[in-house]
Copies of this chain bind each other. A is one copy, B any other.
Amino acid sequence: MAMTRIRRDPPPTPSQMEQHSCFNCQMRNRTEWCVLPQVALSQLDDSKRVNTFSSGHVIYHQGDPVRGIYCIESGTVAIRKTDVHGNSILLRLAHAGQTIGYRDFFGGEVFAASAETLTPTTLCHVDRDSLRNLLSHNPELGLKFLSHIAKDLDTAEDAILQHTSLSVRTRLAHLLLTLKDRYAGVNARGEIVISLPINRQDIAALLGTRPETIARTIHALESDSVVSFSGRQVLVPDLSTLLNEIESN
């Protein structure tokens, strides 16, 4: 629901680079850290390291030892998982204000997936020891992460159900509706336009299918006048038509 304004991550300017402080972080209220009191926030501010990466950079690799977690200040990140045979899927996208790597931090020794920037991205890295320290002195932080991960798990299990019971066409419609919330704007004629953050290959990886199938499915949706693709711009002339897609099947 809601939302037709375009929300784009602005590239960090040098002046912004200087003032990366947790205290005036625009994203803080969206993150787990919002439960921290001033003292703890100052600890966090001292221990975090800010990094800016260009598009296509791998933040961590599946199998790497977990050295801490990352908080996205701006940009979009893809979380990928690969199995022993080399099959790989895109598990999810992570956006500004989200923390990545925290499931791996709590769950085990090594990262269970890889993280890769899709746009220029600024991240704050919080190392193991600092995080452990913060957690032991601020129990609410752990509960905050707990609540978040529980929702992620629900999302993941929904994805399992979707994969087994819905067609690629329906799943693509679902994806477009999800992306709309974050990447949609309106054109001159007042129609919804989604600026996709990912290419066709990644759409395929996200839906657990092949690029060829995505191309064909896009073509089919266009034939039925549900949406109209032009590169990474998706025109949605009528939202209810798109919503109908997820009703059936």
Contact = CB atoms under 8 A, between A and B. Distances in A.
Given A87-B161, A87-B165, A153-B156, A147 B209 contact: no
Interface string A156-198: 1111111111100000000000000000000000000000000
Contacts of A161: 81, 83, 87, 89
A150 interface: yes
B157 A112 contact: yes
Contacts of A149: 106, 146, 149-150, 153
A126 to B, nearest CB: 16
Contact of A157 (B87, B113, B158): B113
A85 B246 CA distance: 10
A152 B153 contact: yes
Contacts of A146: 106, 142, 145-146, 149
Contacts of A107: 147, 150-151, 153-154
A109 to B, nearest CB: 12
Contacts of A56: none
Interface in A198-232: 208-209
Given A146-B145, A152-B153, A157-B156, A164 B108 contact: no
Contacts of A159: 160
Given A139-B136, A152-B153, A157-B81, A164 B163 contact: yes
A143 B102 CA distance: 12
A91 B160 contact: yes
Given A81-B158, A149-B149, A165-B208, 18 more contacts: A83-B162, A85-B165, A87-B165, A103-B153, A103-B154, A104-B150, A105-B150, A106-B146, A107-B150, A107-B154, A108-B154, A146-B149, A149-B150, A152-B153, A160-B160, A163-B164, A163-B208, A164-B209
Interface of A: 81, 83, 85, 87, 89, 91, 103-108, 112-113, 135-136, 139, 142-143, 145-147, 149-154, 156-166, 208-209, 249
